[in-house]
């Protein structure tokens, strides 16, 4: 009788396990319509949120950020600092593999970081991550970072998708194709990529982590024009559409099977100035800032999907270190006086702007409105609205190679050090304005050298004040996220930087 009970118990357990396995099988195809496709999925070069979402799904990192920018362990099981703070050691999970079957061990992790830090590779993030120094594998399960300088923000660096673990062997054999079909160790892998049109993710059969694929596929369609993108949701041809324009919100919310969601956003939208010629003069930069009616533009053009800037750093970046200031006044007459002081008569100053089509909410219309505002203070402004690929190439150029004077760019990166260091440290790759201030460089080094929150607040507060006063950007607003989502989509999360998180997504 006891044997019979054991057999029955084993049968019940086996049946339950089979049922659980069946429930865990990926189901359904999630269709996502985006306004712009990324030039690459290689995390060393990608700078678009849509590709961040792909990298999060396709690659593992030692750590990761959740939907509220909290740092979580991913491949890491433990970590520690050496007593002198010069070596940061991370223990990793063993037995993991890349999607092509290659082992994901400590040697692979070290190789990935050393590639990111290799000057010859030319990663746009190398300067930001340079403090990691050199990564060394110790056995199969331990990676040591021998830091080149103290950095109390290492965990945030390692949690960003730019620090995703790349299969360096695959990069060597695939070349540029790796950027289109990266070999990672995440729950999904890129099955196809058609530039400017679409890309498709499918489950990674070798995945053995904590976030297994829940969907048979995630299909992205690139639709730059707002109306066409919204039409896909209205006709049921898309399940998620990004950047719902203000004029479409009521129509989407009126649909029986879909709605608009507004997740928290830390996107800071600005015109980043190329600091040469007339824009080297802070009076000119301040005049351009005073020329704008931000309240009127956010209400009239954005339909309320934006809040005027009170600091370069957007809300949610790291609020305990964030500092805000009095709004910039709309003062055209004051702007004209500053231009006159700088030696520019009405019509004598000519500037060109580079703006994308479909990257930010109403970006083309905003660009034209900015040109009109600058014209009103006597500046001849040309608004060059271009496709995403051209825009990305232009604003990604070294400042010395730029032929325009400013570009519209949105910034949304978690972590105060991460955000300020990459944009305002002299010579760092993402610093595309050419901004250089010895005091800011000194303070950035101080901010990295301490883990004391009170000291960090003082240091980063001073940096933010200097940047606000220096005005290397024409500060605009913090963009509100607006996505159209079909009711059948369950469990979708969105990070404050527009990164879609597919960990728990199912389709009813």
Lowest mean pLDDT across 9-23, 284-298, 359-373? 9-23
Paired residues of 272 in beta bridges: 407, 473
DSSP state of 315: T
Question: What local confidence, expressed as pLDDT, does residue 62 receive?
Answer: 98
* Interacting residues of 331 by C-beta distance below 8 A, sequence separation 6+: 290
Q: Would you call 141 exposed, middle or buried from its count of C-beta atoms within 10 A (0-12, 13-18, 19+)?
A: middle
Half-sphere exposure of 109 (CA within 13 A, CB side): 30
| Other CB atoms within 10 A of residue 55 CB | 25
Question: What local confidence, expressed as pLDDT, does residue 29 receive?
Answer: 98
91 against 358, higher pLDDT? 91
Q: Which CATH class is domain 268-479?
A: alpha beta
pLDDT tier at 389, thresholds 50, 70, 90: confident
Residues 40-70 have pLDDT tens digits of: 999 999 988 899 999 999 999 999 998 888 8
> Taking the alpha carbons of 42, 48, 54, 60 in that order, is the dihedral positive or negative?
positive
CATH 3.40.190.10 fits 177-263+482-507, yes or no: yes
Whether the predicted pLDDT of 23 surpasses 50 = no
Torsion (CA) 198, 501, 71, 128 in degrees, nearest 10: 20
Contact 338, 329 (CB under 8 A): no
Residues 397-413 have pLDDT tens digits of: 999 999 999 999 999 88
User: What is the CATH topology of the domain spanning 60-167?
Assistant: Dipeptide-binding Protein; domain 1 (3.90.76)
Whether the predicted pLDDT of 1 surpasses 50 = no
Mean pLDDT of the chain: 92
Helix (H) or strand (E) holding 112: helix 106-117
Euclidean distance between the first and final Cα of the chain, in Å? 44
Question: What local confidence, expressed as pLDDT, does residue 21 receive?
Answer: 39
Pairwise CA distance, residues 91 & 77, whole Å? 5
| Other CB atoms within 10 A of residue 341 CB | 12
Question: What local confidence, expressed as pLDDT, does residue 67 receive?
Answer: 84
Coil vs helix vs strand at 10 = helix
Q: Which pTM was predicted?
A: 0.83
Residue ranges covered by each domain of the chain? 60-167, 177-263+482-507, 268-479
> What six digits make up the tokens of 295?
């309240």
DSSP string, 444-471: HHHHHH---HHHHHHHHHHHHHHHHHH-
* Interacting residues of 334 by C-beta distance below 8 A, sequence separation 6+: 287, 290
pLDDT tier at 18, thresholds 50, 70, 90: very low
Give the mean pLDDT of 314-320.
91
């Amino acid at each position: 009788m006891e044997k019979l009970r054991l057999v029955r118990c084993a049968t019940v357990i086996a049946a339950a396990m089979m049922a659980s396995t069946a429930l865990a099988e990926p189901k359904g195809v999630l269709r996502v319509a985006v306004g712009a496709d990324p030039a690459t999925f290689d995390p060393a070069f990608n700078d678009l949120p849509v590709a961040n979402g792909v990298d999060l799904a396709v690659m593992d990192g030692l750590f990761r950020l959740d939907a509220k920018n909290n740092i979580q362990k991913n491949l890491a099981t433990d970590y520690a600092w050496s007593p002198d703070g010069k070596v940061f050691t991370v223990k990793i999970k063993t037995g993991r593999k890349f999607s092509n079957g290659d082992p994901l061990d400590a040697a692979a992790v070290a190789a990935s970081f050393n590639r990111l830090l290799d000057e010859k590779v030319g990663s746009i993030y190398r300067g930001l991550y340079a403090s990691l120094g050199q990564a060394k594998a110790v056995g199969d399960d331990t990676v040591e970072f021998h830091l080149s300088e103290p950095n109390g923000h290492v965990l945030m660096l390692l949690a960003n998708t730019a620090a995703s673990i790349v299969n360096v062997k695959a990069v060597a054999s695939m070349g540029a194709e790796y950027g289109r079909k990266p070999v990672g160790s995440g729950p999904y892998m890129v099955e196809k990529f058609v530039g400017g049109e679409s890309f498709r993710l499918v489950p990674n059969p070798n995945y053995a982590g904590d976030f297994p694929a829940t969907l048979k596929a995630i299909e992205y369609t690139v639709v730059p024009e707002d109306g066409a993108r919204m039409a896909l949701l209205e006709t049921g041809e898309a399940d998620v559409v990004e950047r719902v324009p203000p004029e479409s919100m009521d129509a989407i919310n009126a649909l029986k099977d879909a709605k608009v969601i507004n997740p928290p956003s830390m996107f800071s939208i600005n015109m980043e100035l190329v600091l040469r010629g007339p824009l080297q003069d802070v009076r000119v930069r301040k005049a351009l800032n005073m020329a704008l009616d931000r309240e009127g533009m956010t209400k009239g053009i954005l339909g309320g999907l934006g809040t005027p800037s009170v600091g370069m750093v957007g809300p949610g970046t790291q609020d305990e270190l964030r500092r805000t200031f009095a709004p910039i006044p709309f003062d055209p007459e004051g702007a004209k006086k500053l231009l006159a002081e700088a030696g520019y008569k009405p019509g004598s100053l000519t500037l060109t702007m580079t703006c994308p089509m479909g990257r930010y909410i109403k970006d083309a219309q905003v660009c034209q409105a900015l040109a009109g505002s600058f014209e009103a203070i006597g500046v001849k402004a040309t608004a060059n609205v271009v496709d995403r690929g051209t825009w990305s190439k232009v604003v990604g150029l070294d400042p010395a190679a730029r032929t325009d004077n400013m570009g519209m760019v949105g910034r949304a990166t978690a972590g105060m050090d991460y955000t300020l260091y990459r944009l305002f440290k002299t010579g760092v790759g993402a610093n595309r304005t050419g901004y250089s201030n010895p005091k800011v460089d000194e303070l950035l080094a101080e901010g990295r050298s301490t883990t004391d929150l009170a000291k960090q607040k003082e240091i980063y507060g001073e940096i933010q004040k200097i940047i606000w006063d220096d005005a290397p950007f024409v500060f605009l607003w913090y963009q509100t996220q607006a996505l159209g989502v079909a009711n059948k989509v369950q469990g979708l999360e969105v990070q404050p930087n527009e990164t879609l998180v597919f960990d728990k997504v199912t389709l009813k």
